[in-house]
Structure 1
């Protein structure tokens, strides 16, 4: 296939689904919609195909090494390379913390998906990304992962109602992971960035009525996923521009 091959983790719902939908209708972009459950992925694909998107479902659980390897093998066999990898899959467990489920346990489980899972996904797909003319890796992060934000804390609706230490720490670590990959591959022409979609109406926040439209939240990831050879790398951005580290 001559166009851009894109893999998105956790794309059967929320921000991931919206990124998949918008990317799939861009000419010369074909989306592999990753989902832990293939049935849910196929259901999401049907919705996107109804608007004319170029997309297919792929089973992908980023906490399962065998699942990641199987996905890599499938992509290699069918397409021979990967042009864009969007690390979107994430979980939020902080609100389940109680006497029986400690913050430490929540942090271990959260990091397994949000950070370690993302690292395993990149590592497994590195050989296929190296075959792209312009490899692009996008880490869907969050402003709550900004150390500056909490070092100079100013209360806001999202920062107080959705105060989530395990999630915030996992996203801060994800930003560092992005920078470490950028150090290794920026000079080789790779475009590796992190972005925050903002506070959006997804199941993450139980479709909070103060959250913005999910369609708008996908725009930054779309921009980073479609960068050309002169695009930026090593940035942490949202719709307004750079986010303080």
Structure 2
């Protein structure tokens, strides 16, 4: 089958909120195909229809980042129709804003979606990235290292030679704490600890993977971004920014930032911040 030479941008969880606005912005300014992906096909196609009514032309594909088979099917589709991915926005994520303290099962589900899914994406989608691709991880100010309360992890996660195995130890130790109840949960990361751990782990993974890309001689740029406190369904419509404003930082990294900007934590206004402050 003939493969289209057009550039390709992919947004996970693109059917609503910040993800939808990122797709919208990419459709308006990105010179190539823009894939709005969602785990729910009906909601995804409704989102595409809404954009089409505004004169935009996104493509759609089902993608559940928590299911390896779904990620594999998407990768096979992209590999069949295109020469690779130029922009990948890892936006899919969940948060129960009404539950500052989760039970173990809820914490595991959140971390599976917000963090462990990135490992599946890394394994399956990273091999089809273009050499100068851009990866944007949607993090949070809760993804700053200072959100963690255990000194051993403040020290470990800040190492220049941090490894994926150490990040996994960090996440799994938190999940064990979640099994032990509210007090252990609080000691580790405080209220919304599962979300904080998932985003801190995402941030740490960003830096580790950038180092790996560099060691492999690839020009891939991977950064994480705090979009601001955005009014979405996930935040129960509380926040400082509209989803459109929240998309500004991610779109800057996708479209405007210099390729030399690599392995950083970027604030919603585009400036770099020290992750470990």
Please confirm whether the aligned pair reaches a TM-score higher than 0.5, indicating the same fold: yes
CA distance in 2, matches of 1:134, 1:16: 22
CA distance in 2, matches of 1:174, 1:46: 31
* 1:189 corresponds to which of 197, 219, 226: 219
Aligned to 1:112: 112
1:120-171 C-alpha deviation (Å, 9 max, x unpaired) = 1122012210xx25211110000111123567xxxxxxxxxx9411101100
Q: Where do 5+ consecutive residues of structure 1 fail to align?
A: 152-161
Normalising by structure 1, we get a TM-score of 0.86
Aligned to 1:155: none
Q: What secondary structure is seen at the aligned counterpart in 2 of 1:204?
A: coil
Aligned to 2:62: 59
Aligned to 1:172: 200
Give the total of aligned pairs.
229
Aligned to 1:231: 260
Aligned to 2:84: 81
TM-superposed deviation, 1:189: 0.9
Q: Where do 5+ consecutive residues of structure 2 fail to align?
A: 150-189
CA distance in 2, matches of 1:27, 1:18: 13
TM-superposed deviation, 1:97: 6.9
TM-superposed deviation, 1:69: 0.3
Aligned to 1:12: 15
Q: Structure 1 residues 86, 27: CA separation in 2 closer, same or farther (over 3 Å shift)?
A: closer
After the TM superposition, which segments of 4 or more aligned residues of structure 1 sit over 6 Å from their partners? none
Q: What secondary structure is seen at the aligned counterpart in 2 of 1:30?
A: strand
Q: What secondary structure is seen at the aligned counterpart in 1 of 2:98?
A: helix
Aligned to 1:200: 230
- Contact persistence 1:119–1:177 (CA under 8 A): no
- Contact persistence 1:33–1:57 (CA under 8 A): yes
CA distance in 2, matches of 1:29, 1:219: 19
CA distance in 1, matches of 2:249, 2:211: 22
Aligned to 1:134: 132
Q: Structure 1 residues 229, 211: CA separation in 2 closer, same or farther (over 3 Å shift)?
A: closer
CA distance in 2, matches of 1:118, 1:68: 11
1:82-131 C-alpha deviation (Å, 9 max, x unpaired) = 11111000011363477xx62x33321111010010221122012210xx
Larger gyration radius, structure 1 or structure 2:
2
> Alignment RMSD, CA only?
2.1
Q: Structure 1 residues 199, 228: CA separation in 2 closer, same or farther (over 3 Å shift)?
A: closer
